[in-house]
């Protein structure tokens, strides 16, 4: 499948890095400047066109881990290939395992061969740059920083961060949601949804057992009042800290944030569809990847969702997908209830 236009997508929102940089954190300032340059470079590359990596359906992952040795030159030196024994570097091994956990969710739960559906090789680079406070998908591969050790730890630690970023690849090869405004917030939300499902699937957790946090275990010792980057269960509560500031995510349309920053608030307003998914998954109960996740998956792969879809478009698509899957059922009513609870219309 020909991918949609690739974009640079990172796990740490610009507003977090901006707050840290304004407070004099040099690692955050350098990360912010670096990410801005990469976004510009990715837009230029997209305009020129980009060749899709060669895929071949196998039903098995094809992972390669690279190490830049704290430089910013991608992809770096190959340090572990598919089937190789674990190395002495825990970061390399976590990246390898996280790529595998993401592949497993899509393959075993949905029958999809890698993020593109045709066996796309999964490449990741670790130890990127020095004190780099982010992880990103650049349209071709995953990249992980080590963090600064004070505010952010190693970005391979939370498996949902790996799942989140790889899901940007899934979106690139399916609905191609434009990375601005509500479609961009949906792009981010879909990555949070499947990133959380990767963790739940790997741990064998039900919707009730899951923490519904994105990036738990990532925050370092300098953060006193924070548990993660985002909460799908309670958007706006992931952190409230002197260092990070206050989590700005809204849970409903009543608190929708209108801003020109961060591509129209894609990392902020994603809290609204995130919360809708959480409400649906917990209303249905059991394993969230089975019914709630299947509805979201079918919307993304169904070929009917416009790339500039807004929240209402996406909500209506989930209702239609639920009806196709389950008929007039409790699942459809749960979908309608979830979107109504966050203030997004479905008619």
- 331: annotated active-site residue: no
What span, in angstroms and rounded, lies between the C-alpha atoms of 160 and 140? 19
What span, in angstroms and rounded, lies between the C-alpha atoms of 243 and 225? 9
β-pairing, 245-246 vs 240-241, is: antiparallel
- Of 167, 160, 159, the closest CA to residue 110 belongs to 167
Do residues 262 and 14 touch, judged by C-beta distance below 8 A? yes
Q: Which residue of the set 165, 178, 188, 331 is catalytic?
A: 165
What span, in angstroms and rounded, lies between the C-alpha atoms of 229 and 13? 9
- 267: annotated active-site residue: yes
Q: Which residue of the set 164, 267, 275, 331 is catalytic?
A: 267
What span, in angstroms and rounded, lies between the C-alpha atoms of 3 and 171? 9
Please state at what angle helix 181-203 crosses helix 159-172, rounded to 10 degrees.
130
Do residues 277 and 254 touch, judged by C-beta distance below 8 A? no
| Torsion 205-297-227-137 (CA) sign | positive
| Torsion 329-312-291-207 (CA) sign | negative
Using alpha carbons only, what angle is made at residue 162 by residues 96 and 260, rounded to the nearest 5 degrees?
Answer: 150
Residue with tokens 């790997």: 202
User: What are the residue ranges of helices labelled H in 248-310?
Assistant: 262-265, 271-284, 292-301
What span, in angstroms and rounded, lies between the C-alpha atoms of 186 and 3? 18
Residues forming the active site: 165, 267
């Amino acid at each position: 499948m020909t991918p949609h236009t690739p974009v640079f997508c990172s796990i740490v929102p610009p507003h977090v890095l901006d707050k840290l940089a304004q407070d004099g954190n040099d690692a955050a300032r350098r990360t912010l400047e670096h990410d801005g340059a990469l976004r510009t470079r990715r837009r230029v590359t997209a305009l020129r066109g980009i060749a899709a990596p060669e895929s071949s359906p196998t039903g098995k992952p094809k992972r390669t881990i690279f190490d830049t040795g704290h430089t910013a030159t991608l992809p770096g030196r190959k340090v572990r290939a598919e089937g190789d024994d674990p190395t002495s570097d825990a970061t390399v091994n976590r990246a390898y395992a996280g790529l595998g956990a993401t592949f497993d969710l899509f393959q075993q739960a949905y029958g999809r061969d890698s993020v593109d559906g045709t066996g796309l090789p999964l490449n990741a680079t670790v130890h990127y740059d020095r004190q780099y406070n982010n992880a990103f998908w650049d349209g071709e591969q995953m990249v992980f920083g080590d963090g600064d050790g004070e505010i952010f730890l190693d970005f391979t630690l939370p498996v949902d961060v790996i799942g989140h970023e790889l899901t940007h690849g899934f979106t690139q090869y399916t609905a191609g949601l434009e990375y601005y405004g509500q479609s961009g917030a949906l792009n981010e939300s879909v990555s949070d949804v499947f990133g959380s499902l990767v963790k739940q699937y790997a741990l064998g957790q039900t919707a009730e057992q899951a923490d519904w946090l994105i990036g738990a275990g990532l925050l370092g010792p300098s953060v006193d009042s924070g548990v993660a980057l985002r909460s799908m269960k309670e958007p706006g509560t992931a952190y409230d800290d002197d260092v990070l500031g206050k989590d700005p995510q809204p849970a409903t349309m009543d608190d929708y944030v209108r801003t020109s920053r961060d591509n129209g608030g894609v990392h902020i307003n994603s809290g609204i569809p995130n919360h809708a998914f959480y409400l649906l998954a917990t209303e249905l109960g059991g394993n969230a990847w089975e019914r709630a996740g299947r509805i979201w998956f079918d919307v993304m792969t169904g070929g009917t969702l416009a790339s500039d879809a807004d929240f209402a478009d996406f909500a209506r698509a989930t209702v239609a997908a639920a009806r196709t899957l389950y008929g007039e059922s409790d699942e459809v009513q749960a979908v309608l209830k979830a979107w109504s609870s966050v203030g997004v219309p479905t008619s």
